[in-house]
Amino acid sequence: MKKLFVLLLVLAVVLGASSVSFAQGRKFGATYMTMNNPFFGVMDQAIRAAVEANGDTLITLDPALDQVKQISQIEDMIAQGIEVLFLNPVDWQGVAPALLACREAGVPIVNVDAPVYDEDFVTCIVASDNLSAGLICGEDMLKRLPKGGKAVILGHPTTKTGIDRIANFKKVVADHSDLFTIAAEDSSEGQLEIAMPKMENIIQAVPDMAVVMCVNDPTALGTIQALRAANALQGVLVYGVDGSPDAKKMIKDGMMTGTAAQSPINIGKIGVQMAYKILAGEKVDKHVPVPVQLITGENVDEFGVDGWQ
């Protein structure tokens, strides 16, 4: 055994440590806008499982919705020698300095879930079809509210995902402006604890709202809590995006209308597949869309309420 160790050590010196795969596995980095959202926790678990199954390492850092902090963390991961970065930006435009740092260091970026503004800096974007998410919520609204009504929007305008989801919902409203109006709009930053007080204020301003379009499920859950506390939930449609277990339970209990279900598990798995192809020198598509599907009370049992898709 001792002779084998010495032989391997000599070989490492001759060939260079970086050339000997048994000396150290690959190192990957991951950063999401916040880990205070179970969606990103599930995605990270999927990425970590796939990376570690290959004997490699994943470093995950949480910027907690602070873009300056995320840039600093990415720079730290570059210094630690990551070979690929899985990136979900806090601010799709504000993340630009980190994109430049990765390019200068030769670190390819697999952009997961939320795209960056300047796509030239990333090698691959694996994300849900967010335009479809807003559209299918809007189309369901039309079926349930044939007489129209006042719509409220709680979005997240510093992320491309939030912009796309809300844009297509707004398009449905605009296409039926004889029936629907947008009576109030604000940002929840995708956070339950921010959505609640925002919705409390909106309830006072728009007591006769008919529908609330939420940028994600945590926002929808915060919205529902505020509406319930004000005894104002009955008769109000509430839509989210994610397909989280908590949202599916709310749908099953009749408190939430629907959620455009994503699959953080598949986004994570596909992201890792793209990363290894990039490292192998293979060409990958710039955009890899992951389909979404509307979950409502009519089909929630098909998905179950105990886990993610």
Chunked in runs of 10, what are the mean pLDDT values of the chain (309 residues)?
A: 40 35 76 94 97 98 97 98 98 97 98 95 96 97 98 95 95 98 97 97 98 97 98 97 96 98 96 98 96 96 91
Give pLDDT, residue 212.
98
Give yes or no for a contact between 30 and 59, defined as CB atoms under 8 angstroms apart.
yes
Give yes or no for a contact between 206 and 150, defined as CB atoms under 8 angstroms apart.
yes
| Helices within 187-285 (DSSP H only) | 192-205, 217-229, 245-252, 264-279
Give pLDDT, residue 309.
83
Task: Report how far residue 90's alpha carbon sits from residue 67's, in angstroms, rounded to the nearest whole number.
Answer: 5
Angle between helix axes 264-279 and 38-52 (nearest 10 degrees) is 40
**Interstrand relation of 27-31 and 84-87 (parallel, antiparallel or unpaired):** parallel
Give yes or no for a contact between 237 and 259, defined as CB atoms under 8 angstroms apart.
no
- Compute φ and ψ for 245, nearest 5 degrees: -55, -40
Task: Report how far residue 88's alpha carbon sits from residue 124's, in angstroms, rounded to the nearest whole number.
Answer: 12
Give pLDDT, residue 12.
39
Task: Report how far residue 35's alpha carbon sits from residue 28's, in angstroms, rounded to the nearest whole number.
Answer: 18
Give pLDDT, residue 24.
67
Beta strands in the chain (DSSP E): 27-31, 57-61, 84-87, 109-112, 124-128, 149-155, 180-187, 209-214, 237-242, 258-261, 287-290, 293-296
Give yes or no for a contact between 214 and 240, defined as CB atoms under 8 angstroms apart.
yes
- Compute φ and ψ for 210, nearest 5 degrees: -110, -25
Beta bridge partners of 28: 58, 84
- Residue 136: enclosing H or E segment and its boundaries? helix 130-144
Q: Could you give the 3-state DSSP secondary structure of residue 11?
A: helix
Q: If we measure between CA atoms, which residue out of 151, 257, 156 comes closest to residue 215?
A: 156
Beta bridge partners of 290: 128
Task: Report how far residue 42's alpha carbon sits from residue 161's, in angstroms, rounded to the nearest whole number.
Answer: 18
At 192, list the tokens.
Answer: 């339950």
Give yes or no for a contact between 109 and 87, defined as CB atoms under 8 angstroms apart.
yes
